[in-house]
């Protein structure tokens, strides 16, 4: 599958620091996004550590051997593919790195980060996440949320205590139940999704979803087919609405397969479609 992707991160209109980080590793089709927290720019340290750790860890995966016996930091269900397990393990490692850094440097205590990572192998997407940064899939016009926020208000919605509307208006939206760096172990949610040509993946920090509604996001992703333009426009949108937080957006488009028997002729001509 051919994938075209791009990412943008922005400090927003109110904050003085950008504590979001992201990485796109094109040869691996690996996408990582992290939103850091902690006073005095420690959030930047945490989120950078997160994306770097995951990038390094996933890059080392040896395709030729079965990875099931790689050192796993936490418990990983056997039913997942080796890629998914590796990605989950990478997140465990990132968590440990942040936690240990804060142990060594007491001024970093309290720093943490969210993470949402996607790794595509063939037509299968492995997702791992902790926190309230999100992954969405746009398919045939509909925007599907692929991750569940690990925030207090989202948990209240899941338990039927709040409606989604009330959750959006709550003052406690930033309260997280899970984050990287808080404890030596962390529970990482993973999932596998089958992708189709034409699908568009969106990874974003809450700086986007706080400011722009989902129908608006879906509209932008549909009208802007170039991922770089789409990502920039979404960031601009968030900033126009106030830019109250750092905002980071990654857009990855699974290319449509050329249809019909003329397709091999078109490909041969070497022209960009």
Nearer to other proteins, 6 or 148 (CB): 148
Nearer to other proteins, 77 or 270 (CB): 77
Nearer to other proteins, 148 or 229 (CB): 148
Nearer to other proteins, 26 or 257 (CB): 257
Nearer to other proteins, 29 or 55 (CB): 29
Q: How many CB atoms lie within 10 A of CB 253?
A: 21
- 83 contacts other proteins (rule: CB under 8 A): no
- 223 contacts other proteins (rule: CB under 8 A): no
- 39 contacts other proteins (rule: CB under 8 A): yes
- 249 contacts other proteins (rule: CB under 8 A): no
- 245 contacts other proteins (rule: CB under 8 A): yes
- 122 contacts other proteins (rule: CB under 8 A): no
Phi, psi of 267, deg, nearest 5: -65, -40
Phi, psi of 30, deg, nearest 5: -110, 130
- 120 contacts other proteins (rule: CB under 8 A): no
Phi, psi of 264, deg, nearest 5: -70, -25
Q: How many CB atoms lie within 10 A of CB 81?
A: 15
> Is residue 36 classed as helix, strand or coil in its secondary structure?
strand
Tokens matching residue 209: 């979803």
Q: What does DSSP assign to residue 41?
A: T
> Please, are residues 257 and 14 in contact by the beta-carbon 8 Å criterion?
no
Nearer to other proteins, 59 or 184 (CB): 184
> Please, are residues 80 and 88 in contact by the beta-carbon 8 Å criterion?
yes
Angle between helices 227-240 and 214-223 in degrees, nearest 10: 150
- 139 contacts other proteins (rule: CB under 8 A): yes
Q: How far apart are the C-alpha atoms of 6 and 35, rounded to whole Å?
A: 18
Segment 180 to 209, residues that bind other proteins, using CB under 8 A = 182, 191, 193-194, 196
- Residues of this chain that bind other proteins (CB under 8 A): 14-17, 35, 37, 39-40, 112, 123, 137, 139-146, 148-149, 152, 154-164, 167, 171-179, 182, 191, 193-194, 196, 210, 215, 242, 244-245
């Amino acid at each position: 599958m051919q994938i075209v992707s791009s990412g943008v991160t922005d400090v927003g209109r109110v904050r003085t620091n950008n504590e979001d980080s992201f990485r796109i590793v094109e040869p691996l089709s690996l996408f990582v996004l992290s939103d850091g927290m902690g006073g005095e720019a420690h959030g930047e340290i945490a989120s950078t550590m997160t994306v770097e750790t995951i990038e390094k860890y996933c890059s080392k995966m040896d395709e030729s051997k079965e990875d099931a016996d790689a050192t796993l930091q936490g418990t990983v269900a056997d039913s997942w593919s080796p890629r998914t397990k590796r990605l989950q393990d990478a997140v465990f490692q990132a968590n440990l790195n942040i936690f240990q850094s804060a142990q060594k440097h007491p001024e970093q205590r309290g720093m943490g980060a969210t993470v949402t990572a996607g790794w595509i192998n063939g037509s299968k997407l492995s997702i791992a996440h902790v926190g309230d940064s999100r992954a969405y899939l746009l398919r045939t016009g509909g925007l599907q949320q692929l991750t569940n926020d690990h925030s207090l208000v989202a948990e209240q919605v899941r338990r039927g205590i709040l409606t989604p509307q009330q959750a959006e208006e709550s003052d406690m939206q930033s309260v997280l139940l899970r984050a990287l760096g808080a404890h030596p172990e962390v529970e990482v949610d993973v999932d596998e999704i089958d992708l189709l040509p034409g699908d568009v993946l969106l990874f974003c920090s809450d700086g986007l979803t706080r400011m722009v509604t989902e129908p608006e996001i879906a509209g932008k992703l549909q009208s802007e087919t170039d991922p770089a333009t789409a990502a920039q426009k979404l960031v601009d949108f968030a900033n126009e609405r106030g830019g109250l937080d750092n905002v980071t957006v990654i857009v990855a488009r699974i290319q449509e397969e050329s249809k019909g028997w003329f397709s091999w002729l078109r490909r041969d001509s070497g022209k960009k479609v």
